[in-house]
């Protein structure tokens, strides 16, 4: 592992990729702007992150064509609320571009970056703090995840052809927390137009030979992906209020 300067306290940044279109959501607009419990879904996500005092700043990465954000999420204001329209064609590219933006704003290789999907709007500040507490002294970093509870099927079309051993299987969530330098090294191929298959930061870090820490989180931190997910999120958010 890289040795970092002794005595230099790392900063903590959240990086929120929000440049997707939400094609699986069935919505007529990008899913991060779909109204859930009275406001744009992404508004809940960003509020939860801004409520974590240990985070120095929250950077949201939008598509260069995005002209909705300021009107849809008006409460995202203040010195810790950063916006960049540098999203790319894939989630990994949006994250890599966001890392560059953080560097331009002063992030150093030893600083921690917590990448969190805009589409996980049920996030609670306490879960972020748990991740930080368990990973800040880890030599790699880690991610929120939940152990797989269901029996897993290998499918061919609509037919189950095999049952996959679920022992030691976890479903990856976000935030995923790594040092800026390690994450940039892991995602560098994405900026060269390679490694299009990368679906999360941890897999890119694993590809470098590291073993990210799994920090157990509730299933409630699910990603809104399919149409039915929005009604479930609405019920859960309203039940909290
Ligand atoms: N080019 C992209 C694609 C995705 N994302 C973001 O990555 C997160 C997780 O991705 P996913 O849930 O797959 O969102 P979409 O790509 O928008 O959804 P879909 O795959 O259904 O189109 C979302 O917050 C999404 O906005 C991004 O910043 N840039
Ligand atoms: C990062 C992630 O949320 C972990 O579960 C997920 O991989 C992103 O979703 P996508 O549909 O692959 O973009």
Q: What is this model's ipTM?
A: 0.98
Decide if 163 is inside a domain: no
pTM for the structure as a whole:
0.96
Q: State how far the Cα of 133 lies from the Cα of 127, in Å rounded to an integer.
A: 10
pLDDT 10s digit of each residue in the chain, 241 long?
455 555 689 999 999 999 999 999 999 999 999 999 999 999 999 999 999 999 999 999 999 999 999 999 999 999 999 999 999 999 999 999 999 999 999 999 999 999 999 999 999 999 999 999 999 999 999 999 999 999 999 999 999 999 999 999 999 999 999 999 999 999 999 999 887 789 999 999 999 999 999 999 999 999 999 999 999 999 999 999 7
Answer whether 223 contacts ligand 2 (Cβ < 6 A).
yes
Rg value, the chain, Cα: 18
Decide if 65 is inside a domain: yes
Specify the number of domains making up the chain.
Answer: 1
Contact 232, 226 (CB under 8 A): no
Ligand nearest to C-alpha 25: 1
147 CA to centre of ligand 2 in angstroms: 16
Specify the ligand 1 atom closest to the Cα of 23: 22
Decide if 58 is inside a domain: yes
Decide if 211 is inside a domain: no
76 CA to centre of ligand 2 in angstroms: 24
- CATH number, residue 133: 3.90.550.10
Nearest to 92 by CA among 186, 178, 208, 210: 186
State which residues form the domain around 96: 12-138+174-204+218-240
Decide if 2 is inside a domain: no
Q: CA dist 94 to 20, 31, 133, 148, Å?
A: 9, 16, 26, 28
Decide if 77 is inside a domain: yes
Answer whether 19 contacts ligand 1 (Cβ < 6 A).
yes
Decide if 119 is inside a domain: yes
Q: State how far the Cα of 57 lies from the Cα of 66, in Å rounded to an integer.
A: 21
Decide if 200 is inside a domain: yes
Helix (H, G, I), strand (E, B) or coil at 96: helix
């Amino acid at each position: 592992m890289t040795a970092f300067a002794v005595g230099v306290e790392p900063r903590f940044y959240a990086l929120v990729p929000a440049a997707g279109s939400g094609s699986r959501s069935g919505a007529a607009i990008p899913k991060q702007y779909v109204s859930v419990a009275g406001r744009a879904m992404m508004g809940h996500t960003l509020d939860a992150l801004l409520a974590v005092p240990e985070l120095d700043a929250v950077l949201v990465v939008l598509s260069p064509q995005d002209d909705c954000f300021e009107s849809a999420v008006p409460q995202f204001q203040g010195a810790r609320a950063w916006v960049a329209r540098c999203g790319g064609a894939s989630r990994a590219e949006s994250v890599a571009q966001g890392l560059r933006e953080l560097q331009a704003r002063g992030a150093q290789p030893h600083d921690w970056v917590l990448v969190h999907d805009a589409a996980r709007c049920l996030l609670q500040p306490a879960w972020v703090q748990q991740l930080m507490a368990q990973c800040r002294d880890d030599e790699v970093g880690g991610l929120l995840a939940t152990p797989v509870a269901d029996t897993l099927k290998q499918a061919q079309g609509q037919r189950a052809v095999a049952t996959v051993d679920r022992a030691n299987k976890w479903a990856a969530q976000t935030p995923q927390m790594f040092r800026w330098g390690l994450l940039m090294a892991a995602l560098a191929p994405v900026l060269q137009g390679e490694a299009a298959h990368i679906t999360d930061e941890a897999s890119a870090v694993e590809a470098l030979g590291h073993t990210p820490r799994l920090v157990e989180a509730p299933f409630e931190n699910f990603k809104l992906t399919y149409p039915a997910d929005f009604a479930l999120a609405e019920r859960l958010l309203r039940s909290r209020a």
